[in-house]
Amino acid sequence: MRGGQVSLTTIVFLVIGLIIGALIGYFAIPRGPGTTEDVQAIIQERDQLKAKVQELLEALKPGEITVKVWTIGPDPPSEYRLKNIQIAADILNSMLKTLGANVTVKVEGEFFVRPVEWGEYKNNFYLAYQAGEAPDIYLTGHEDIGFLAENNYIISLDDYINQYWDVVYYDVISTLWDAVRYKGKIWGIPQDTEARPLYFRKDVLRALGWSEAEIEELPKKIMRGEFTLYDLLELAKQAKDQGLVERGILHRVKEGYDYFQFYLAFGGRLWDPNAAKMVFTEDAWRKTLQWFYDAVYQYGVISPNQFSGDWDNDFHLPFTEGRALFLSGGTWHKGEWIQKGLLTEEEFNSNIGYALHPAGEPGKKPVTLSHPLVYTITKLAKDRGVADVAFLLITLATDPHLNSYHSVQSSHLAILYSQISDSRYTQDPFLHDVAYMLDYTTFIPNHPKWGDYSRIVFNILRAVETGDLTPDDAFNELKSQIQSELGEAVIFE
């Protein structure tokens, strides 16, 4: 570790401590004339601190510290994932300049957007790492933490978090720490989270003869479990049969995690925290595969080629143009539609509704799925001696004001309690409306073999939709593949 970085971190920590101390002092100490001794003591303490800062500054080697950062959308509105780190660097540089330090921090950042998808982004990271060109700060999905930690790609952050706990980390929404914990340690700092709503077209429901009150009631009925996944198929079929829409239900067109919501809605479990193993709920998988088959071949409301579609032509446009009734999406899609000009705020508010994903059958619960993205610090950063500065940047970027830029623009949910009262956040009715969904959410498992589970499920679901496998065959195939490839890592129930 280079002396320069240690000193820099210590200085900034001292400065932050000074500011916090000053604020506490200002608010906590009762106003009054004060004694001469008190004033003398404060002046003495300040001078000592200044002397220490001065001493550290003199020890600081002049120069530029470069921190390499990789982030991804892939939706363009999520650009603040990188911008906030750059803003953090600006803040840090201002602090250093004020202190008279002859050192600056430079961020070399990348923000990847489509056509780069998650798979390609992650491939690039692993290959770059082997070539010694990986970033110091790497933004990724929380589910990668198991694999990254297990193979020494990233470092644990517990010590840093303890060090800066009172600065900002006390404010992180507590459940999010579960998403970044692996084998008892914390390996990432939450950057954002989201819910995955089921969007619906209010105008199509109006054309079906629904009253405004009935439309407004739909999310509540779903929340109470009174409207199930099979009711969803019925309704979509009705709209399609009447020629109101070309497509009933749209789901993502590439591999992902969204469709695990249907399994959860049928009562499936993904993770057993006690055993720290993934879970395969047989009954739920049977019902899920049957539901997808019925959706395509009994009700005709999902295209058999939906998984081979194109994001614009088979996902966004049919819905934003009112040619599809339902879309299983994420909160960030609202931000994407607005930024791309596919919908205006007015059109969104008047024609688009959103709800949880309905329960699979009566008696089951509605669901959503969250996939927090996290900043990690690579081992390469530690080897290069910039891990401390990298963490400092993440700490400064984990700020209610800065993170709200991201949440509001990209329609992601807050990661900090104080953010919920941020004026911009509270003024966004959509973010306010979907906040309750987090009470129904599940995280995907932080297991090194989660990617295998996910890939097997994707291929089997695709085969059901295309008619290559019947639901029964699909179930047997799914179970046998999970058994043979994942074995002990999965509990079958």
Work out which of 401, 451, 489, 491 binds other proteins, going by CB under 8 A: 451
Is 110 one of the binding residues for other proteins (CB under 8 A)?
no
Looking up tokens 């401590």 gives 17
Q: For the segment 55-74, give every residue that binds other proteins (CB under 8 A).
A: none
Measured N-to-C along each axis, helices 282-293 and 450-466 cross at an angle, to the nearest 10 degrees, of 40
* Binding track, positions 163-192, relative to other proteins; x by CB under 8 A: ------------------------------
Task: Considering the complex, state which of residue 255 and residue 422 has its C-beta at the smaller distance from other proteins.
Answer: 255
Task: Considering the complex, state which of residue 21 and residue 451 has its C-beta at the smaller distance from other proteins.
Answer: 451
- Give the pair of three-digit tokens for residue 243: 């020629």
Work out which of 117, 231, 246, 272 binds other proteins, going by CB under 8 A: 117
Is 336 one of the binding residues for other proteins (CB under 8 A)?
no
Is 75 one of the binding residues for other proteins (CB under 8 A)?
no
The CB-of-34 to other proteins minimum distance in angstroms stands at 60
Q: For the segment 252-291, give every residue that binds other proteins (CB under 8 A).
A: 254-256
In order, the DSSP letters of 409-430 are HHT-B-SBGGGGG-HHHHT-HH
Work out which of 122, 251, 357, 379 binds other proteins, going by CB under 8 A: 122
Strand 277-280 relative to strand 198-201: parallel, antiparallel, unpaired?
unpaired
Per DSSP, 300 falls in state -
CA distances from 167 to 82, 147, 160, 399 (A): 21, 29, 11, 10
Size of the site for other proteins (CB under 8 A): 36
Is 308 one of the binding residues for other proteins (CB under 8 A)?
yes
Looking up tokens 């779903």 gives 222
Task: Considering the complex, state which of residue 169 and residue 293 has its C-beta at the smaller distance from other proteins.
Answer: 293
Q: For the segment 454-473, give every residue that binds other proteins (CB under 8 A).
A: 454-455, 458-459, 462-463, 465-466, 468
Is 300 one of the binding residues for other proteins (CB under 8 A)?
no
Work out which of 305, 421, 426, 427 binds other proteins, going by CB under 8 A: 305
* Binding track, positions 381-420, relative to other proteins; x by CB under 8 A: ----------------------------------------
Classify each residue of 145-184 as buried b or exposed e, where b means 16 or more C-beta atoms within 10 Å of its C-beta: bbbbbeeebbbbbeebbebbeebbbebbbeebeebbbbee
Q: How many helices (H) and strands (E) does the chain have?
A: 23, 16
218 neighbors 200 (Cβ within 8 angstroms)? yes
Task: Considering the complex, state which of residue 144 and residue 399 has its C-beta at the smaller distance from other proteins.
Answer: 144
Intra-chain end-to-end CA distance of the chain, in Å:
49
Is 120 one of the binding residues for other proteins (CB under 8 A)?
yes
Task: Look at residue 371 and give its three-state secondary structure.
Answer: coil
Backbone angles phi, psi at 304, to 5 degrees: -60, -20
Is the CA virtual torsion 80, 81, 86, 89 positive or negative?
positive
330 neighbors 370 (Cβ within 8 angstroms)? no
Which residues form the interface with other proteins (CB under 8 A)? 117-123, 125-126, 130, 143-144, 147, 150-151, 254-256, 304-305, 307-308, 449-452, 454-455, 458-459, 462-463, 465-466, 468, 477
